[in-house]
């Protein structure tokens, strides 16, 4: 007796993203077929692999499951999924994260208010935080950190030992030239990770953190301060007499800007870069 396979009436079940958008693409569907003419599960599945459509409404056939209804009849459920979007050499993908980081500061952006005993005047520390007799204790604050990644598909022939060494040397550097939308000194290269896809090309992810350049900053009474994104600013304090409060205070005396990361040309991240 020949094996027959027919689609079950009302035997389809689809799914989308659930966002309620009329433009949603179908993310997958299950189609149920009735198989008749054999009491062998193996034969029923073999017939299904030959006869059941490999595509349905733009979706590709995936896993199949089968359950026996009676002696020679089976109910076959076939899952259809969107085709894999295989990335090819030259393709890229991007992601970013603006989660906050923590920074220890000793100076407020601006002083709000001070309170003292009725017979006293609160000393003016010009925004210094946590002033004690011997130090400026400061505090920890949450600051925005813009981290982003770029994943590129690169041909195997381009991922040489020299190129890998170049990525190592660039790690921990800031950009010495404008790069994309960023000015000099705003981007820090955090390194790369890569994996080879079988005997083919490479999938390499480049990781970065960005911090904006700043100009015309003020610290206490010191103005006109400029620093690049990843330069380090620190404040030197000195003791002064606050005549109004009749108190010795610690106030910003000098501001220092230091370069703590080396600089290099991020054009070298391109495997086709040549000197």
pLDDT, position 86? 66
The DSSP code sequence of the chain is ---EEEEEEEEEEEE--SS--TTPPP-EEEEEEEEES-S-HHHHHHHHHHHS-SEETTEEEEEEEEEEEETTEEEEEEEEEPPP----TT-EEEEEE---EEEEESB-SS-------TT------TTBSSB-SS-B--EEEEE--EEEEEEEEE-GGG--HHHHHHHHHHTT-EESS-BTTBPTT-EEEEEEEEEE-TTS-EEEEEEEEE---EEEEEETTEEEEEE-TT-EEEEEEEEEEETTTTEEEEEEEEEEEE--S-EE-GGGGSTT---
Lowest mean pLDDT among 50-64, 124-138, 221-235, 246-260: 50-64
Of 136, 128, 135, 132, residue with least CA distance to 108: 128
pLDDT, position 10? 73
- In which band, very low, low, confident or very high, does the pLDDT at 22 lie, cut at 50, 70 and 90? very low
> What is the rounded CA–CA span in Å between residue 226 and residue 115?
33
- The answer, yes or no, to whether residue 82 has pLDDT greater than 90, is no
Mean pLDDT of the chain: 87
pLDDT, position 154? 94
Half-sphere exposure of 186 (CA within 13 A, CB side): 16
The pLDDT tens digits of the residues spanning 169-208 come to: 999 999 999 999 999 999 999 999 998 877 688 999 999 9
Contact 205, 95 (CB under 8 A): no
Contact 168, 161 (CB under 8 A): no
- In which band, very low, low, confident or very high, does the pLDDT at 23 lie, cut at 50, 70 and 90? very low
Domain extent listing, the chain: 4-16+25-81, 92-269
The pLDDT tens digits of the residues spanning 24-81 come to: 455 678 899 999 999 888 888 888 888 888 888 878 888 888 898 888 899 999 988 8
Average pLDDT over residues 147-172: 94
Model pTM?
0.63
Average pLDDT over residues 262-272: 96
pLDDT, position 100? 64
> What is the rounded CA–CA span in Å between residue 210 and residue 233?
16
pLDDT, position 11? 67
Of 47, 24, 25, residue with least CA distance to 34: 47
pLDDT, position 222? 93
pLDDT, position 162? 95
Contact 57, 26 (CB under 8 A): yes
pLDDT, position 246? 84
């Amino acid at each position: 007796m020949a094996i027959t396979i027919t689609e079950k009436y009302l035997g389809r079940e689809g799914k989308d993203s659930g966002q309620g958008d009329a433009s949603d693409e179908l993310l997958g569907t299950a189609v149920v077929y009735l198989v008749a003419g054999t009491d062998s599960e193996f034969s029923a599945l073999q017939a299904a692999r030959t006869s059941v459509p490999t595509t349905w409404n733009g979706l590709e056939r995936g896993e199949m499951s089968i359950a026996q209804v009676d002696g020679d009849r089976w109910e076959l459920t076939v899952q259809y999924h969107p085709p894999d979007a295989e990335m090819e050499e030259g393709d890229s993908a991007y992601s970013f994260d603006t989660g906050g980081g923590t920074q220890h500061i000793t100076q407020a952006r601006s002083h709000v208010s001070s309170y003292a005993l009725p017979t006293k005047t609160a000393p003016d520390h010009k925004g210094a935080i946590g002033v004690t007799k011997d130090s400026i204790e400061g505090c920890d604050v949450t600051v925005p950190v813009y981290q982003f990644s770029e994943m590129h598909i690169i041909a195997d022939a381009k991922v040489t030992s020299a190129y890998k060494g170049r990525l190592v040397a660039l790690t921990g550097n800031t950009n010495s030239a404008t790069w994309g939308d960023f000015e000099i000194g705003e981007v820090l290269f955090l390194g790369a990770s890569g994996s080879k896809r079988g005997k083919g090309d490479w999938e390499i992810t480049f990781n970065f953190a960005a911090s904006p350049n700043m100009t015309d900053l003020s610290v206490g009474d010191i103005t006109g301060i400029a620093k690049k994104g990843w330069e380090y600013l620190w404040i030197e304090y000195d003791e002064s007499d606050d005549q109004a409060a009749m108190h010795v205070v610690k106030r910003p005396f000098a501001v220092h800007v230091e370069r703590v990361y080396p600089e290099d040309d991020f054009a070298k991240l391109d495997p086709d870069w040549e000197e």
